[in-house]
Amino acid sequence: MTAANPLLALDYLPALESLGDDYYDIVPAAEFPQHMLRFRNDDLVRLLGLDPATVSDEDFIEAFGKFQGREPFLALRYHGYQFGEYNPFLGDGRGFLYGQVRGTNGNLYDFGTKGSGTTPYSRGGDGRLTLKGGVREVLASEALHALGVNTSRAFSLVETGEALWRGDEPSPTRSAVLVRFSQSHIRFGTFERLEYHNRPDLIAKLLEHVIDVYYPEARLFTDAQERYLHFYKELCDRVARLAAQWMAVGFCHAVLNTDNMSITGESFDYGPYAFMDGYDPRFTAAYFDYAGRYSYGNQPLICQMNLKALQKPLKLIMPEADLEAALAPFKDRYEAYYQQLMLRKLGFESLADDLATALVSQTIALLSAVTVGYHDFFLALAQQFSPAWREHATLIFSTTLQASDAAAASQLDDWRQTYYRCLQSLDAEKMAGVASLLKRTNPETVLLRPAIEEIWEPITTDDNWQPFYDLLNKVQHPFGQG
Ligand code: AMP
Ligand code: MG
């Protein structure tokens, strides 16, 4: 007798389903020729109140590879601005909402698939995900989570044994289905579609649902207008914080279309993303982003524009002036979050305002002037920091940073003096705290592109997954194992 599958026995809640079929289409899952479990997230199994030892690989495959034992699957309807152009033909084209469950923390989570077959929104696509695409999303979401970014996670990755043809991968290429674990798959574009169809009633209904589940504190306002405004203000703040997190960890999402913006302010959907190597605001990750619209440095501004775009549907149920006023502080909020995160990467929980501003801006100026990896710089700082730096400015980075020219040399000198003044502003006994914060905020392993390509090679040539598991383990513990 086989025990019941604990993944199927979870308490699935029809949260979105109960809103009615204006928001989704019921779709079947594809049948795949093979099922090979390549990744399972036992951290998340525990978050669901299960002991990973009681969940077998077969259980994962039954639920999240063969999609047996549960229905309905909901392909979510949405539109979106893609590279600035409105696209009314979007929607879940290769995925669906598998189900919604509560974590032991009380939060509601989505299991959302990617690569599970065609839907009414596939637009001629095959509804599939390449194995490499799946591997890249697993790595990105686990790396970002470990770095403290508010992100969706990967729950499972099952290789499915089909041959896919893609313009951006040597083809035929291998197939997989990913299950994503996220706060929500409701996007800015979900609301944009309802505006397109001129359905303020459906916008209000969906917004009340979003507030109930993801902004419960807004329920304190008995007045609907106050509730809506609280939601939008809080969303703007969450998105400002998310943009600051991406920027501080040196991450370029690459496809910040409004259909890839979660209504919860969580980061998700990792396609052609990249962590940048050297500091460069113009760094662009997607080969098809010819104009650099979604470059690393543009991300805060694009997030602000996307929040502005969301006003169009929200305007159907609330005053535009309120929305404008709520968005106005975005830039300041972003800068405050960014400054705080960068200060921590520099070893300081807090500093006098003028020192903090000078240190962060001079660090950016220095990183722009010298040839050094963004992550290498901060890791070197963490590794070389010594309490003696507080006594002698000349000791600060005395051996590593080589200035390439006179302008860079003077930047380095300025930076050293400022860092010295910051250290001097703290008591000597605070230096251990600086050393420890530097180690806790600056990763030893960063998911740079060459690291991903390196693990991909043994997978394609020998089906050797060990380098993938090694890299995954490193990015899951970026500040060292101990
Ligand atoms: P993305 O760029 O991954 O956010 O996807 C944009 C849209 O294209 C979404 O509606 C996807 O569901 C759809 N899509 C992407 N790849 C495929 C595919 N292979 N088959 C069908 N739809 C796809
Ligand atoms: Mg997407």
pLDDT tens sequence across 242-263:
999 999 999 999 999 999 999 9
pLDDT band with cut points at 50, 70 and 90 for residue 1: very low
Note the pLDDT of residue 482: 46
The C-alpha angle 296, 383, 140, rounded to 5 degrees, equals 35
Of all residues in the chain, the percent with pLDDT exceeding 70 is 98
Among candidate residues 259, 269, 289, 322, the one labeled active-site is 259
Whole-number average pLDDT of the chain: 96
Report yes or no: 381 and 348 within 8 Å, Cβ to Cβ.
no
Give mean pLDDT, residues 47-75: 98
Report yes or no: 65 and 39 within 8 Å, Cβ to Cβ.
no
pLDDT band with cut points at 50, 70 and 90 for residue 2: low
Q: Give the Cα separation of 103 and 188 in Å (integer).
A: 24
The reply to whether ligand 1 has any atom less than 6 angstroms from the CB of 112 is no
Q: Is the pLDDT of residue 136 over 60?
A: yes
Q: Give the Cα separation of 320 and 323 in Å (integer).
A: 5
Is-cis flag, bond preceding 172, omega within 30?
Answer: yes
Query: Does the annotation mark 259 as catalytic?
Result: yes
Note the pLDDT of residue 397: 85
Q: Which residues surround the ion ligand 2 when the cut-off is CB under 5 Å? A: 260, 269
Which H/E stretch holds residue 86? strand 85-87
Beta strands 73-76 and 36-40: pairing type? unpaired
Closest ligand to C-alpha of residue 90 is: 1
Residue type, 305: M
pLDDT band with cut points at 50, 70 and 90 for residue 370: confident
pLDDT, one tens digit per residue, over 375-428 is 999 999 999 999 999 999 999 987 566 656 777 788 888 999 999 999 999 999
Mutating to test ligand 1, I would choose from 73, 94, 123, 166 the residue with most ligand atoms within 8 A of its C-beta, which is 94
pLDDT, one tens digit per residue, over 14-44 is 999 999 999 999 999 999 999 999 999 999 9
Question: Where would I find the H helices in 84-223?
Answer: 131-146, 188-196, 200-214
List the residue whose alpha carbon is closest to atom 5 of ligand 1.
93
Q: Give the Cα separation of 335 and 463 in Å (integer).
A: 45
Pick the closest to residue 366 from 382, 346, 347 (CA basis): 346
Residue with the larger pLDDT of the pair 215 and 408: 215
Note the pLDDT of residue 406: 75
> Ligand 2 centre from 313 Cα, in Å?
20
The reply to whether ligand 1 has any atom less than 6 angstroms from the CB of 144 is no
- How many CB atoms neighbour CB 221 within 10 A? 15
pLDDT, one tens digit per residue, over 84-123 is 999 999 999 999 999 999 999 999 999 999 999 999 999 9
Note the pLDDT of residue 461: 96
Q: How far apart are the first and last CA of the chain?
A: 42
Beta strands 36-40 and 153-164: pairing type? antiparallel
The reply to whether ligand 1 has any atom less than 6 angstroms from the CB of 155 is no
Note the pLDDT of residue 407: 76
Note the pLDDT of residue 405: 72
DSSP 262: B
Written as six digits, the tokens of 120 are 């009414």
Report yes or no: 164 and 172 within 8 Å, Cβ to Cβ.
yes
> Ligand 1 centre from 128 Cα, in Å?
9
